[in-house]
């Protein structure tokens, strides 16, 4: 199975900060990567698919980049409503696998 | 509007079986790939299984392979997860999800989940 490793596992930011989360795949997954946001007590929400495509309705401050084995999710200006846990997921080869998650909170 | 409503979660003893259902509305389950994803309380997300639009591709997590089975009913526009030989580590909220495409890729719509507790 493909292992997805996210870093950091948690981070604290201030409103307006630029935040970057990284995700590394154990083998080449081309661009077959999703990013999800999950707020406490809620179902996950798809933010980015195909590594860099913004899902409909997602604010433009979210962006994704990368290919192969190294990917990043960037929030250009952190907002209070962005407090959540973020997960990457590969879909190059089943079983689809998630990273361990990155918890984002406010300083 | 796309809606997914899971049901069937319960307290079950180790070794027991359970069948989860997911009623879909706002789209046809035949027109998209569908998934089950679980989350143990306080833990991360784990993809359990998925089925492509024409059932040509079905995948399972290693942790459930041989014990769980995914299926769908077009007439009822529903997705199912048959779970056998349940173990305490299967305890989790189980979410069904609609893919963005015909194939196993990106879950773009999620149900709120149903809780499965495996304990004696």
Q: Has residue B11 got a pLDDT over 90?
A: yes
Test B45 with A101 for CB contact under 8 angstroms.
Answer: yes
Q: Has residue B80 got a pLDDT over 90?
A: yes
Test B106 with A44 for CB contact under 8 angstroms.
Answer: no
Q: Where are the beta strands (DSSP E) in chain A?
A: 4-7, 10-13, 19-25, 33-38, 45-49, 53-54, 62-67, 70-75, 84-90, 97-98, 102-106
A9 touches chain B (CB under 8 A): no
| CA-based nearest residue to A70, from A1, A2, A5 | A5
B56 touches chain A (CB under 8 A): no
Q: Has residue A89 got a pLDDT over 90?
A: yes
B40 touches chain A (CB under 8 A): no
Question: Which residue is closest to A92 within chain B, CA to CA?
Answer: B105
Question: Which residue is closest to A45 within chain B, CA to CA?
Answer: B108
A45 touches chain B (CB under 8 A): yes
Contact A95, A1 (CB under 8 A): yes
| Cα–Cα–Cα angle for A53, A89, A104, rounded to 5 degrees | 85
A34 touches chain B (CB under 8 A): yes
Cα distance from A68 to chain B (closest Cα, Å)?
16
Cα distance from A95 to chain B (closest Cα, Å)?
5
Question: Which residue is closest to B51 within chain A, CA to CA?
Answer: A94
Instruction: Report the pLDDT value the prediction gives residue A107, as an integer from 0 to 100.
Output: 86
B95 touches chain A (CB under 8 A): yes
B42-67 pLDDT per residue, tens: 999 999 999 999 999 999 999 999 99
| CA-based nearest residue to B100, from A34, A93, A5, A22 | A34
For residue B95, give both structure tokens. Answer: 């979410």
Residues A66 and A24: their CA atoms lie apart, in Å, by: 10
Cα distance from B103 to chain A (closest Cα, Å)?
10
Q: How confident is the model at residue A95 (pLDDT cuts 50, 70, 90)?
A: very high
Residues in chain A, total: 107
For residue A4, give both structure tokens. Answer: 């997805």
Q: How confident is the model at residue B34 (pLDDT cuts 50, 70, 90)?
A: very high
* Beta strands at B45-51 and B58-60: parallel, antiparallel or unpaired: antiparallel
Test B45 with A36 for CB contact under 8 angstroms.
Answer: yes
| CA-based nearest residue to A28, from A88, A99, A96, A90 | A90
Contacts of B99 (CB under 8 A, 6+ apart): B32, B33, B34, B35, B50, B105, B106, B107, B108
Residues in chain B, total: 120
Instruction: Report the pLDDT value the prediction gives residue A21, as an integer from 0 to 100.
Output: 98
């Amino acid at each position: 199975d493909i292992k997805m490793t996210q870093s950091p596992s948690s981070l604290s930011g201030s409103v307006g900060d630029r935040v970057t989360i990284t995700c590394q795949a154990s083998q080449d997954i081309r661009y077959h990567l999703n990013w999800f946001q999950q707020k406490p007590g809620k179902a996950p929400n798809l933010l980015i698919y195909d590594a860099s495509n913004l899902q409909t309705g997602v604010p433009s401050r979210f962006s994704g980049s990368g290919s192969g084995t190294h990917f990043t999710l960037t929030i250009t200006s952190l907002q209070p409503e962005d407090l959540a846990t973020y997960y990457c997921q590969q879909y190059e080869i089943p079983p689809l696998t998630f990273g361990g998650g990155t918890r984002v909170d406010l300083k | 509007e796309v809606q997914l409503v899971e049901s069937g979660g319960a307290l079950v003893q180790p070794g027991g079986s359970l069948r989860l259902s997911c009623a879909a509305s706002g789209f046809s389950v035949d027109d998209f790939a569908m998934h089950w994803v679980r989350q143990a309380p306080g833990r991360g997300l784990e993809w359990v299984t998925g089925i492509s639009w024409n059932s040509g591709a079905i995948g399972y997590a290693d942790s459930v392979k041989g014990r769980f089975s995914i299926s769908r009913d077009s007439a009822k526009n529903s997705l199912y997860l048959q779970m056998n030989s349940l173990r305490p580590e299967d305890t989790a909220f189980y979410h069904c999800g609609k893919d963005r495409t015909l194939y196993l890729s990106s879950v773009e719509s999620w149900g709120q989940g149903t809780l499965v507790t495996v304990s004696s």
